[in-house]
């Protein structure tokens, strides 16, 4: 079958018509747009944080009309000016502000990559589960074939008085249970297709899935997204602590003002018009009552995140060990099932000889062959289970580009 054949190619790597750097290539256009807009938000935040120490340039214009209370005198004044008050020294605060903006951007980049990885994991997990459900559906069909054979034999034995109704009823009930399993497998297939369409427009019928390899433990412990985020956030909070600390240190600012003014008394002399300017420096030392507690709060946040980063490694070691144990259990299932296949080969060979000799029926032979196929499919199902677990490890520290 075309659908099943394409999906069973998960053992092979696949060439994609996308660049390796495009981590969102398999996602739907809507998801890509959403992620791109999130990136734009982070870029804008970064630029704002990086330059918010630059003071605004103020453009001013005014017009005044005056009537003196001392007599019938009138005058008007027009003025335009440009002014600025720009910090040129903040005890290192300007540099720390830029460093904080860059560190915050790195933290946001980790968050965005983690979001992309989660979407790709959702996609590949659904594809692998779809494969597994198709195999389980085929298993159920083979079991149903065996149940049909069993019911046929039990009915024949019952008709000739060699079996009671209980045996026939049990066979019918077992078939009914398997029919429910078959219906569940069909519904699960539709669920997995729905999961795929939620995040991607790919055609699962013609989409070969890459083979996931085991992530090395040290790579996992060093580069898992939660660890990346904790490290980036620690650095961000360290820079924020520096910025907070320098807010209460001396700062030096340049103050400048340049403009044009026109004054015209209506009844008196003394009008003037012309340019004017002023320039100077101002030194500020803020004395704030809660400065110390504010600085200590920023430092405590940084130290707390630093401790969380160290604790995260211990937690991830347990997570990695649990994944390995689960993978090992699937491999044990495969080994046990593979050994069973040798037994089936012997039984099939002996039954075939009995059929040829007329001592066995073709029903016995077909039942054994169906049962062997069920076990062969069980091996493939557990191979997919391993791939699902490996994909979970993979996407916990990578987006998709190293695979696609």
Instruction: State the pTM of this model.
Output: 0.80
Alpha helices, DSSP H, located in 200-279 = 217-223, 225-246
Tracing tokens 């001592």 back to the chain, one arrives at 359
pLDDT at 69: 52
pLDDT at 270: 60
Q: Does domain 2-53+91-247+312-394 have CATH number 1.25.40.10?
A: no
Select from 251, 249, 253 the least CA-distant residue to 280. 253
Distance CA 365, CA 352 (A): 7
CA 252 to chain centre: 45
pLDDT at 90: 74
Q: Where are the strands (E) in 316-391, listed by range?
A: none
By the 8 A CB rule, do 388 and 129 touch?
yes
Give the residue ranges of the chain where pLDDT is below 50.
1-21
pLDDT at 269: 62
Residue 24 burial by Cβ neighbours in a 10 Å radius (0-12, 13-18, 19+): buried
Reduce the DSSP state of residue 195 to 3 states and report it. Answer: helix
By the 8 A CB rule, do 134 and 187 touch?
no
Select from 215, 37, 212 the least CA-distant residue to 112. 37
Distance CA 394, CA 402 (A): 10
By the 8 A CB rule, do 182 and 137 touch?
yes
- What crossing angle do the helices spanning 93-159 and 29-51 adopt, rounded to 10°? 160
List the strands of the sheet with 58-67, edge to edge.
58-67, 74-89, 251-265, 272-284
Select from 403, 398, 393, 384 the least CA-distant residue to 126. 384
Distance CA 26, CA 126 (A): 13
Reduce the DSSP state of residue 212 to 3 states and report it. Answer: coil
Question: Which residues are CB-contacts of 178 (< 8 A; sequence separation ≥ 6)?
Answer: 140, 143, 144, 147
Select from 10, 21, 66 the least CA-distant residue to 209. 10
Domain ranges in the chain are 2-53+91-247+312-394
- pLDDT per residue as tens digits for the range 188-237: 999 999 999 999 999 888 888 889 999 999 999 999 999 999 889 888 88
Distance CA 149, CA 171 (A): 10
10 Å Cβ neighbour count for 287?
A: 6
- For 324, the token pair is 């390995």
Q: How many CA atoms lie within 13 A of 197 on its CB side?
A: 7
pLDDT at 339: 93
10 Å Cβ neighbour count for 233?
A: 22
| DSSP secondary structure string for all residues of 284-308 | E----TTHHHHHHHHHHHHHHHHHH
Distance CA 194, CA 257 (A): 65
Q: How many residues does the chain have?
A: 404
pLDDT at 221: 92
Reduce the DSSP state of residue 222 to 3 states and report it. Answer: helix
């Amino acid at each position: 079958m075309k659908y099943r054949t394409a999906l069973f190619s998960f053992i092979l790597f696949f060439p994609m018509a996308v660049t390796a750097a495009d981590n969102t290539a398999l996602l739907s256009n809507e998801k890509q747009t959403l992620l791109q807009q999130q990136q734009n938000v982070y870029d804008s935040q970064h630029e704002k944080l990086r330059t918010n120490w630059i003071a605004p340039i103020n453009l001013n214009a005014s017009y005044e009309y005056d009537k003196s209370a001392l007599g019938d005198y009138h005058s008007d004044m027009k003025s335009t000016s440009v002014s600025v008050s720009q910090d040129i020294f903040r005890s290192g605060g300007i540099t720390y502000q830029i460093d904080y903006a860059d560190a915050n951007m790195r933290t946001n980049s980790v968050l965005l990559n983690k979001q992309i990885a989660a979407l790709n994991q959702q996609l590949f997990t659904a594809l692998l589960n779809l494969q597994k459900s198709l195999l389980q559906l085929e298993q159920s069909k083979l079991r149903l074939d065996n149940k049909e054979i069993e019911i046929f034999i039990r009915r024949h034995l019952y008709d000739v008085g060699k079996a009671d109704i209980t045996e026939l009823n049990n066979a019918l009930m077992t078939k009914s249970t398997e029919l429910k399993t078959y219906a569940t497998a069909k519904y699960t297939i539709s669920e997995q297709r729905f999961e795929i369409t939620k995040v991607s427009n790919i055609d699962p019928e013609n989409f070969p899935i890459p083979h996931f390899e085991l992530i090395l433990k040290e790579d996992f412990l060093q580069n898992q997204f939660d660890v990346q985020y904790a490290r980036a956030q620690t650095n961000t909070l360290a820079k924020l602590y520096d910025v907070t600390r320098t807010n209460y240190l001396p700062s030096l600012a340049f103050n400048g003002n340049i403009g044009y003014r026109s004054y015209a008394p209506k009844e008196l002399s003394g009008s003037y018009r012309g340019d004017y300017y002023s320039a100077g420096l101002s030194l500020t030392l803020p004395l704030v009552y809660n400065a110390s507690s504010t600085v200590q709060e920023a430092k405590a946040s940084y130290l707390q995140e630093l401790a969380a980063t160290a604790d995260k490694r211990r937690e991830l070691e347990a997570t990695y060990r649990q994944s390995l144990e689960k993978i090992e259990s699937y491999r044990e299932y495969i080994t046990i099932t593979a050994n069973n296949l040798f037994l089936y080969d012997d039984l099939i060979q002996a039954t075939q000889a009995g059929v040829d000799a007329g001592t066995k029926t073709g029903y016995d032979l077909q039942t054994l062959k169906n049962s062997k196929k069920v076990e062969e499919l069980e091996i493939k199902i557990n191979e997919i289970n391993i791939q699902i677990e490996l994909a979970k490890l993979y996407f916990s520290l990578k987006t998709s580009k190293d695979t696609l």
